[in-house]
Chain A
Amino acid sequence: MAYNRYFEDEKMENLDPNNIKRVLAYLKPYKYRVALSLFLMAMAAFADLLGPYLTKIAIDNYILAGDYRGLTIISLIFMGLLAVNGFAVRFRVLIMSKVGHQVVRNIRQDLFQHIQNLSFSYFDSIPAGKIIVRVMNNVNSLQNLLENGLINIITDTFRFLAILLIMLNLNLRLTLISITVMPILIFLIFLLKKKIRIGWRRVQKKRSNMNAYIHESLTGMKITQAFVREEKNSNIFKDLQNDYVSNWMKTVMMSHGIFPIVLLINTASVIIMYLVGIRDLNAGLVTIGTLVALLQYIWRLWQPIINISNFYNQVLVANSAAERIFDVLDTDPDIVDLPEAKVMPEIDGKVEFKNVSFSYEEDGEIILKDMNFEVQPGETIAFVGATGAGKSTIINLMTRFYDIDKGDILIDDIDIQGVKIASLRKQIGVMMQDTFIFSGSIADNIRYGNLEATREDIEEAAKMVYADSFIREMENGYDTEVNERGSRLSVGQRQLISFARTILSDPKILILDEATSSIDTQTEILIQKATQAVLKGRTSFVIAHRLSTIRNADRIMVLEAGEIIETGSHEELMARQGHYHDLYMAQYNRVI
């Protein structure tokens, strides 16, 4: 499997040039509110623009005329305008913040939901830290664009067009000549854009690398401290940071370059206006009044362009974030329901492997070779075999965590590829070899197997695996809060809790992968006795290295390098004097 490591940049397979459009599509449900904001924005802009005009009237009509009353009135009008502006701003900010945060929330929700459905192989290959960064940081990067950027770009475009129109109206020739430099600007920005875009993409990757490293460092902190490796890690982190900072600086300086470019082009445009305007003035082609007006407007004309170029930078940043979001959203899960998938009927418990071959990666090492076996409803099957023989792999296939390469897996004679995954997994209870405890109360952790379970059910399940007594001894009993991965529990206790969780799910097929490997043998025997009742009547698979754990199984299958080499009950296998017998006797000989 190609594992992506913290220092390797992610490859992105689903680069969609329409990222930003797809982000904007999320605004659709809020289009009326966006429109209202635009209206408010226009109102505010209008009130804002009217200010200088009012001042002019005040000077010309009242101050020079010495008219106190007029001055008072115009001041009051001015005040009124400011109030209007204030209200418009208030509601626009309110509406757009809400919309912006809502859209961000919705995108994050979609992303998270999609991630829930991705297959194991996806999570195998990408560090968790890199997935988290997409759900959290990258989605947040869209906030500003959604809240302010879009609205501002629209209003500034309008402002630009309005001023341009007035100018064209004033003097077509001068205006056109002075904006001839505009295409140069567009061309330069176009040139830069590509570089900046690639730059941000790289920055995002570096950030993601750093995040992955932080995440792994935090989760593996105990090992790091135990092996006194702090210094080395600190240096690795330093290198990652330097890599990030240097990429950031390169890109951010390029993007800061846009504003000076706009400024210089603006200078050219104004200079042209001066030169041509004054020549025209001397030639009598233009009146003083018009020229002065034009000169004042060209000033104003550039403000929206500067704003837009600023927001354009935001768009480029948002684009690199959006790319990463849609890259995940466009990743299809490997394991999906077929279109014609049926709901798995209530499972009776017959399980059949027919010529099953499997490897974790294409053309990779073949883990299971042509495996065949049949299990009758209600049977207890044990898998034994050396580590790495493929025991856990078998159960990964039964629950369709991975799809097989060849052959069929049938449950109750139904091919599991043809049924809805949810209906299948709901009926199979797996206790995986790696236990996982969620942060939260112990009761909640057990309840995870069946959300409808009552407190009594939970306690009963705990009693069955002899977890009840230690849970009660804790300060808040079943309501004791445990931390992530159950760090305040002993490893055996964690196993018992996830065992209880699996039992609580009351599955039709029960799979226990090393469920009691960290439990002392005496407790294990007690658990075995207690769970006998649960196992009765349902097909169950038990994987264990301790032969005492599996002795009572109806059938034991001995695995070696992905093949079943022996099958039979304990007695049969002992009588056969094969591999199992040897294993068993070796134990005996070793105690003597």
Chain B
Amino acid sequence: MRELKKLWIYVKKYKLFFFGGLFFIILNVIFSMIPGYLNRRIIDDVINGQQMELLFTFLVTYIAANFLRAAAIMIQRFFTESLSQNLLRDLKQDLYDHLQRLSFNFFNNNRTGELMSRMTGDMEAVRMLFADGMIQFTRAIFYIVFVMAVLIPESLKLSLVSLALSPLIGFFAYRLGVRIKPIFRQVRRQYSDLNSTVQENISGIRIVKAFHQQCYEMEKFDEENNNYFTKNYNAAKIWSKYFPIMEFLGGMSTVLLLFYGGRLVIEGEITLGIWMQFNSYLWMLIMPMRMIGHIVNMFSRTSASAERIFNILETEPEIKNKKKAVHIDRVKGEIEFKNVSLSYGDEDILKNVSFHAEPGETIAVMGATGSGKSSLINLIPRYYEPTDGQVLIDGIDNRDYDLRDLRSQVSIVMQDVFLFSETIASNIAYGQPGLDLEKIKRAADISSARNFIEEMESGFEEVIGERGMGLSGGQKQRVSIARAIVEESPILILDDATSAVDMETEHQIQQALEAMDQRSTLFLIAHRISSVRNADQILILDHGEIIERGTHEELIKNKGQYYTMFKEQYKEVIDEKEIEERWVK
């Protein structure tokens, strides 16, 4: 019910569709009663009563009523469909927009398939309620009201008799709702598990096939698929228990009327005519009673789904603007880490990291796998927030900036490359849709991507597959470098951006970057000495701590970790003596 209240906010926007829909549903019900009435009149008055002159009026009314009803049906459908579609569109759009606001951590912790199921399957359940449920519900209510309005004045006693069982029906309907809702919750959860399983299988299908684990995957899938069946069947079991009871009780109203009403007639308390009239209207009472089960079922299903949708909509983004966010057009690019620590749970990822970068400087970060390099640079655009300490950009805590402004200042090449299934040009211009081709080409030049792109059949207009399918590893990386460069942001981050690029090309890229007239503050994560040696500062991370810092020359003189790395990487071409001569002296 709480969910319905939340949905009401969405309904409110389409009041015309909603109330118009209600109106025409009722109109439809009214028109639908006319033909039955006319039929009786024709039989009674025209055929039995031989009042032929009435026939023409009856027939015209009959035709008119049905035409009007046909029109009412179409309008009613148009309103309810418009309502449900518009409402759903808004809800989906809100969910989509909200997801776009949620933080990186949210996406680390939630499975894509699971989120997708809320965007699709759960939405469908909400749609059903407004497209069909609303009609059924209104009809049921209207019938009851209408019938009561007609029958109570005729005989209060009989009316009460025919309603006698409704509290019982209400009770069972309530029980049904209480019992089936948790099952529907399970059904929805299982649906999303199944969806996740399929989603993950398809994303990882190449690994599945490489290890030839199709059988194992089938097993995993079968289990989820079977569970989904079982959960659905459980819901059906409950339904099949309550639904017939309600049907039975609905039918019992007829029996009560027959039995009790019959006695009243025999005793002369009411006339046979009134009794007959009750009988002929009775289906209008039984119908809603029978309907109630369906409606409760549908409500429970929808509210289980709506819960899941609102669950996400009500998840606050971990990272969001402060009340008075600082807007900025372009920062200079001065960056300072002040005693920054970061931990996930009780795992310390960064410990008390401090450093300072002047605008236009190049900062290289090196360190073993898992030492926290990516975590470090992820703090600059506030993808995550430090547990302790401050990240200052141009002297202002980056949490004080408007988030969008802040992120526009930073272009990043992430370590795991992601490209969209789009043309190469629009991939490069991802951050600036509609950018002119010359700029795109220039960026591609700098990232040494232009040649291979132009060799392709459609050049920059070549479409690539999901995640950059159809490009080699190094080609993907170069496109994503171009995507970052094209932004011309004051801060540029390259997180191991050339790991899949050969050394020659890497060298070219590096030179092109250095030759750019617009110098950004550059953060560079790399494992090869050749990539970092020209940096203004090299930071060596170890288990989240900066253990060495300085320029290439300083660090070699220092004879620490960097020096060991250097020796190892170049032991074939340069020996210790030479190093001594060149740098230490």
Cβ of A229: which chain B residues have Cβ within 8 Å of it? 430-431, 433
Q: Contacting B248 at CB < 8 Å: which of A82, A108, A260, A291?
A: A82
B74 touches A78 (CB 8 A): no
A136 touches B195 (CB 8 A): yes
| Interface pairs (12), CB distance under 8 Å | A59-B276, A63-B275, A135-B198, A218-B107, A224-B100, A226-B410, A232-B433, A234-B100, A263-B70, A365-B456, A388-B452, A522-B568
A101 touches B39 (CB 8 A): no
Cβ of B422: which chain A residues have Cβ within 8 Å of it? 5
| Min distance, Cβ B455 to any Cβ of chain A, angstroms | 8
Cβ of A548: which chain B residues have Cβ within 8 Å of it? 568-569, 572
A264 touches B347 (CB 8 A): no
Residue of B nearest to A282 (CB): B52
B89 touches A245 (CB 8 A): yes
A132 touches B195 (CB 8 A): yes
Q: Contacting A241 at CB < 8 Å: which of B73, B92, B272, B569?
A: B92
Q: With A116-B217, A222-B383, A518-B496 in contact, is A583–B568 under 8 Å at CB?
A: no
Residue of A nearest to B527 (CB): A520
Q: Mark A223-258, 1 if CB is under 8 A from B, else 0.
A: 111111110111001100110010011001100110
B469 touches A438 (CB 8 A): no
| Min distance, Cβ A170 to any Cβ of chain B, angstroms | 15
Cβ of B272: which chain A residues have Cβ within 8 Å of it? 59, 63-64
Q: Mark A408-433, 1 if CB is under 8 A from B, else 0.
A: 00000000000001100110001011
| Min distance, Cβ A543 to any Cβ of chain B, angstroms | 9
Q: Contacting B421 at CB < 8 Å: which of A6, A492, A592?
A: A6
Interfacial residues of chain A within 125-155, with CB under 8 A of chain B in the complex: 125, 127-129, 131-133, 135-137, 140
B527 touches A521 (CB 8 A): yes
- Bound Cα distance from A545 to B506, whole angstroms: 10
A518 touches B415 (CB 8 A): yes
Task: Confirm or deny: B550 has a beta carbon within 8 angstroms of a beta carbon on chain A.
Answer: no
Task: Confirm or deny: B19 has a beta carbon within 8 angstroms of a beta carbon on chain A.
Answer: no
Task: Confirm or deny: B558 has a beta carbon within 8 angstroms of a beta carbon on chain A.
Answer: no
- Which of B71, B217, B472 has the most A CB atoms < 10 Å from its CB? B472
Query: Interface size bucket, B side?
Result: 35 or more
Sorted nearest first, the 6 A-B pairs with minimum C-beta distance are A387-B474, A492-B369, A97-B236, A227-B431, A260-B70, A588-B573
| Min distance, Cβ B44 to any Cβ of chain A, angstroms | 10
A217 touches B96 (CB 8 A): yes
Cβ of A275: which chain B residues have Cβ within 8 Å of it? 59
Cβ of A227: which chain B residues have Cβ within 8 Å of it? 407, 411, 430-431, 483, 487
- Bound Cα distance from A120 to B525, whole angstroms: 33
| Min distance, Cβ A253 to any Cβ of chain B, angstroms | 6
| Min distance, Cβ A142 to any Cβ of chain B, angstroms | 13
- Bound Cα distance from A94 to B528, whole angstroms: 66
Q: With A128-B466, A248-B85 in contact, is A109–B221 under 8 Å at CB?
A: yes
A55 touches B279 (CB 8 A): yes
A491 touches B496 (CB 8 A): yes
- Bound Cα distance from A385 to B213, whole angstroms: 31
A218 touches B99 (CB 8 A): yes
Task: Confirm or deny: A283 has a beta carbon within 8 angstroms of a beta carbon on chain B.
Answer: no
Q: Contacting B470 at CB < 8 Å: which of A252, A360, A451?
A: A360
- Bound Cα distance from A365 to B574, whole angstroms: 41
Residue of B nearest to A428 (CB): B210
Q: Contacting B565 at CB < 8 Å: which of A113, A292, A521, A545?
A: A521
Task: Confirm or deny: A220 has a beta carbon within 8 angstroms of a beta carbon on chain B.
Answer: yes
| Min distance, Cβ B584 to any Cβ of chain A, angstroms | 15
A256 touches B247 (CB 8 A): no
- Bound Cα distance from A254 to B262, whole angstroms: 48
Cβ of A211: which chain B residues have Cβ within 8 Å of it? 116, 120
Task: Confirm or deny: A523 has a beta carbon within 8 angstroms of a beta carbon on chain B.
Answer: yes
Cβ of A487: which chain B residues have Cβ within 8 Å of it? 107-108
B565 touches A522 (CB 8 A): yes
Task: Confirm or deny: B507 has a beta carbon within 8 angstroms of a beta carbon on chain A.
Answer: yes
Q: Contacting B77 at CB < 8 Å: which of A54, A125, A256, A295?
A: A256
A237 touches B96 (CB 8 A): yes
Cβ of A425: which chain B residues have Cβ within 8 Å of it? 209-212
B232 touches A228 (CB 8 A): no
Q: With A214-B120, A483-B109 in contact, is A252–B81 under 8 Å at CB?
A: yes
A492 touches B503 (CB 8 A): no
Task: Confirm or deny: B316 has a beta carbon within 8 angstroms of a beta carbon on chain A.
Answer: no
Task: Confirm or deny: A30 has a beta carbon within 8 angstroms of a beta carbon on chain B.
Answer: no
B200 touches A490 (CB 8 A): no
- Bound Cα distance from A230 to B93, whole angstroms: 12
B500 touches A545 (CB 8 A): yes
B252 touches A82 (CB 8 A): yes
Q: Contacting A97 at CB < 8 Å: which of B194, B232, B263?
A: B232
B81 touches A82 (CB 8 A): no
B464 touches A3 (CB 8 A): yes
Cβ of A360: which chain B residues have Cβ within 8 Å of it? 470
Q: With A63-B265, A387-B472, A591-B530 in contact, is A116–B214 under 8 Å at CB?
A: yes
Q: Contacting A58 at CB < 8 Å: which of B214, B258, B411, B416?
A: B258
Cβ of B505: which chain A residues have Cβ within 8 Å of it? 386-387
B247 touches A55 (CB 8 A): no
Residue of B nearest to A77 (CB): B255
Task: Confirm or deny: B57 has a beta carbon within 8 angstroms of a beta carbon on chain A.
Answer: no
Residue of B nearest to A491 (CB): B415
Known: A83-B248, A93-B244, A117-B214. 5 other contacts (CB 8 A): A221-B100, A230-B101, A495-B369, A501-B211, A545-B474
Residue of B nearest to A84 (CB): B248
